[in-house]
Amino acid sequence: MRYQFWRRLSAPEQEARITEALKGNIDYTEKVSLGIPASKLDPNVFNDQVSFLKDAPLLRAYVQNPNHIGCHTMGSSETFFRGTQEIEKDVISLLSVDLLGAEIDSCDGYIAAGGTEANMQAIWIYRNYFIRDFGANIDEIAILSSVDTHYSIAKAANLLNIKWLSVPVNDDRTIDEGELDRIIINAKKAGIKYFIIVSNMGTTMFGSVDDPSVYANCLIRHEVQFKLHVDGAFGGFVYPVSRAGNSINFSNKHVSSITLDAHKMLQAPYGTGIFIVRKGLMEYVYTKEADYVNGMDITLSGSRSGTNAIAIWMILMTYGPHGWFEKINKLLYRTDWLCKQLDGLGIEYYRNPSMNIVTIKAQYVQPEVVHKFGLVPDSHQGQANWYKIVVMDHVQVEHLHEFIEEVSLKND
């Protein structure tokens, strides 16, 4: 694969780029600026003269405190933070093209508070799209996604006042196509004409990955309008790497937008959700009342830290595409190792072979084991059916080995 934008940069190269970007932002000590309700971090609290800031471009950016309000891949933006907005634009281009199969300049996007906000942004756009372009009534629109979907979709349905129809899955966590068909037939009978699909690229509990064409084919057969969003908040930095050449991305004409979360697998600071959408769609959530902001305020959050974009950019540039491939494969190797041991013990679990989550049937893990190893249940209320292990960077084979020894003793 030829990468258009993603490459590795040394620490001094990153430093030079960030310094340049910060110079392109307003310097409150040099330029008189009377109108904007912003300043650098309070120097009485956050000492900006400490020597280590010299060698820490990310911390220097924190102190300058750029506000990336708005969306910078389209139209005009606040000029005060032009320098670092360029870095955010670079992050969106790199991820849309080199990770998610988009054509150059075919997508917009921004760094959101998290996966929840990015998912809500998508559903907000499509709800307005159906209302504006098709004259849809709010009760003619429904979200469609699997039972394994993250609860942020239920939140979005509640906030945006639209229905959420949840589709059962088979034992292998794939969409139950018969049930999907039945749900669509019933929804149509109940007056639903427009569907917003949320297809998972790595569910929270199982790491399972939905096939978006199962939804698309079914809705096309039923001759209804739909828009499809991919929730890759967990899997977005794993699946495209472990399954290169897959079509759960912008090369698939049915996919209109994708959520990624840099504060999960990329280990970025919190506040680094990422929303990427095909051009021409962000406009559906334009708030015309936001007159005093230069450019279009078309994101769910208003003010947001520009430093988060720099953090994501640094991580991507430190690894480069090949370094990131190696890192993901190291985690998959550890996950394979764990699954092999569980197989040896006859312990039942679910795992998508391209993902780093292993979800074990609750009957095999006793409360002491759950507590000792910090396993996460599928439900905190009532009886858990499953417990998951997420093989993150800090989860090493020696920890998994200790877990297996304990589980094997307890299941003897």
Ligand X SMILES: Cc1ncc(COP(=O)(O)O)c(C=O)c1O
At 105, give phi and psi (nearest 5°).
Answer: 60, 25
In the bound state with ligand X, the residue whose beta carbon lies nearer, of 212 and 273, is 273
In the bound state with ligand X, the residue whose beta carbon lies nearer, of 17 and 229, is 229
Query: C-beta of 255: minimal distance to ligand X in Å?
Result: 16
Among 101, 207, 273, 321, binds ligand X (CB under 6 A): 273
* HEC letters along 292-349: CCCCCCCCCCCCCECHHHHHHHHHHHHHHHHHHHHHHHHHHHHHHHHHHHHHHHCCCE
Please state, in angstroms and rounded to a whole number, the distance separating the CA atoms of residues 167 and 199: 11
In the bound state with ligand X, the residue whose beta carbon lies nearer, of 276 and 347, is 276
150 binds ligand X (CB under 6 A): yes
Please state, in angstroms and rounded to a whole number, the distance separating the CA atoms of residues 247 and 96: 13
Residues paired with 175 in a beta bridge: 169
In the bound state with ligand X, the residue whose beta carbon lies nearer, of 121 and 152, is 152
Please state, in angstroms and rounded to a whole number, the distance separating the CA atoms of residues 64 and 232: 31
261 binds ligand X (CB under 6 A): yes
Q: How many CB atoms lie within 10 A of CB 47?
A: 10
Query: C-beta of 261: minimal distance to ligand X in Å?
Result: 5
Among 126, 129, 194, 234, binds ligand X (CB under 6 A): 234
Query: C-beta of 356: minimal distance to ligand X in Å?
Result: 13
In the bound state with ligand X, the residue whose beta carbon lies nearer, of 83 and 240, is 240
Using CB under 6 A, count the residues that bind ligand X. 13
Query: C-beta of 240: minimal distance to ligand X in Å?
Result: 15
Question: For ligand X, what does the binding mask look like between residues 170 and 209, x meaning CB under 6 A?
Answer: ---------------------------------xx-----
Query: C-beta of 204: minimal distance to ligand X in Å?
Result: 3
Query: C-beta of 187: minimal distance to ligand X in Å?
Result: 23
Angle between helices 177-189 and 212-221 (to 10 degrees): 40
Judged by CB under 6 A, the chain residues 82 through 141 that form the site for ligand X are 114-116, 119
Query: C-beta of 200: minimal distance to ligand X in Å?
Result: 6
Q: How many CB atoms lie within 10 A of CB 160?
A: 18
> Pairing state of beta strands 194-200 and 376-377?
unpaired
In the bound state with ligand X, the residue whose beta carbon lies nearer, of 73 and 152, is 152
CA atoms in the 13 A half-sphere facing the CB of 412 = 6
In the bound state with ligand X, the residue whose beta carbon lies nearer, of 126 and 234, is 234
212 binds ligand X (CB under 6 A): no
Q: How many CB atoms lie within 10 A of CB 158?
A: 10
Question: For ligand X, what does the binding mask look like between residues 10 and 39, x meaning CB under 6 A?
Answer: ------------------------------
- For 124-224, list the strands marked E by DSSP: 141-146, 163-167, 194-200
Please state, in angstroms and rounded to a whole number, the distance separating the CA atoms of residues 175 and 154: 18
Residues that bind ligand X (CB under 6 A): 114-116, 119, 150, 152, 203-204, 231, 233-234, 261, 273
